[in-house]
Homo-oligomer: A and B are copies of this chain.
Amino acid sequence: MNSRRTTVRDVRRTNRSALLSRLFLDGPVSRLELSRLTGLSAGTVSNVTGELIDEGVVVEAGLVESDGGRPRVLLRVDPAYGYVIGVDVGPTRVRTELFDLSMRALATVDRPVGAGDPDPGTVAALVAAGVREAVAGADVAAERVLGVGIGVFGTVERGRLALVHAPTVGWDAVPLEALIRAGTDLPLFIDNGAKTLGQAEMWFGAGRGARHAVFALVGSGVGAAIVTDGTTYQGTSSSAGEWGHTAIVYGGRPCRCGGRGCLEAYVGAQSLLDRYGAELPGDEEARLAALIDAADRSAAADRLLDETAGYLGVGIANLVNLFNPERIVLGGWAGLALGTRLLPRIREVAAAQALAHPFSEAAIELSRLGPDAVAMGAATLPIAELVARGGSRPPVQASSR
């Protein structure tokens, strides 16, 4: 039901894109295998890969032995063809990483934002500075940077310029993209941090190979990334996936979003610690770890965790019934800490609450990459764009500069 025109040239773009995608995700592959993987004829594969090699996107990478017969030449994306930057913008810190195209981190810059509610201008300046430092630190020419992906806390409203909403820290339609653009000329890709983390798991972690998956992320707050048909679902204005603010207890605990009975008010780390009552030392992560540790001795802590497993299980059952995914991945720093101990119980509860049939299709797993993959996931955004374009063919008319 689409209505974009299609011309013969789109065929090439689509096929370049399909080949690049295989090359990028399935590591070194021979032309013959590419032909099998994409269904394209050997002639076309030869033709297109030749073009990609000429352009420098793809390089040959050794031979595969054969027992009698011409050996296959392996191809792969040249890791040094370009570089991408991923930024994890949290409420308390900005972390910038520069990767080559094999996703090796070549530079990392980590900066605290300072106490209190983060100031948009400060955050934007930290991002721009982080990008400059990462480029300098990795000793890479700025022209070779394909783009900067940014994963932000809060929901991102994608219009001509992205706006960020994060009521809990007083951000209402903050023009973050405009602010950052003032400090850098590189192409910017902004999305919610939960979604970029989901993207990372999808490409390199627990989501590999899945068509439909939901990444349930529990940190101080609770979010989710919903992948349908291989792509992250955005909704009308990119704010889809606010799983943490779905009500699970009608008329229940007030949530910091203003609603009542939201999942986040029951399983978010902040809420958990609030409900525990007893004072614990250290930052949020240390306190949650202490709480989990205490469960072996303290009945109160144990009961609290058991309740949490119940809420999480029901929340996950809701996802199963609504999305019928083949995989549900529990992540986020608190999600991992809780899941490591509670996963069996969570599965149990979900099994009891979800409909039998969709539940039988859904594998419930823990995140593989850990919560630090937000930046890496963000860095995949410019790569995805490159692949979708079919690798940047030089513009038709080579201008003189």
Given A4-B39, A5-B39, also A235-B155 (CB < 8 A):
no
Give how many copies assemble into the complex: 2
- Tell me which residues across on chain B come within 8 A of A25, comparing CB atoms: 1
A155-B240 Cα distance, complex, nearest whole Å: 24
Q: How far is the CB of A160 from chain B (nearest CB, A)?
A: 16
Is A324 a contact partner of B239 (Cβ separation < 8 A)?
Answer: yes
Shortest CB distance A171–B (Å): 11
Question: CB-CB contacts of A278-320 with B at 8 A, as 1s and 0s?
Answer: 0000000000000000000000000000000011001001100
Chain B min CB distance to A280 (Å) = 26
Min CB distance, A129 to chain B, in Å?
Answer: 29
Total residues of chain A contacting the partner, CB 8 A: 77
The reply to whether B242 and A355 contact each other, CB–CB distance below 8 Å, is yes
Establish whether residues B357 and A317, one from each chain, have CB atoms under 8 Å apart when the complex forms: no
Distance A384 CA – B326 CA, assembled complex (angstroms):
26
Pick from A25, A325, A355 the residue with the most CB of B within 10 Å. Answer: A355
Residues in B neighbouring A14, C-beta threshold 8 A: 6
A47 at the interface (CB under 8 A from B): no
* CB proximity to B under 8 Å, residues A345-367: 352-358, 361-362
Complex CA distance for A245 and B320, rounded to whole angstroms: 10
From the candidates B1, B11, B249, B257, name the one contacting A249 in the complex (CB within 8 A).
Answer: B249
A340 sits at the interface (CB 8 A): no
Q: How far is B155's CA from A361's CA once the two chains are assembled, in angstroms?
A: 14
Q: Please list the 5 inter-chain residue pairs (A to B) with the smallest Cβ-Cβ separation, ordered nearest first.
A: A235-B324, A5-B39, A240-B324, A242-B321, A246-B318
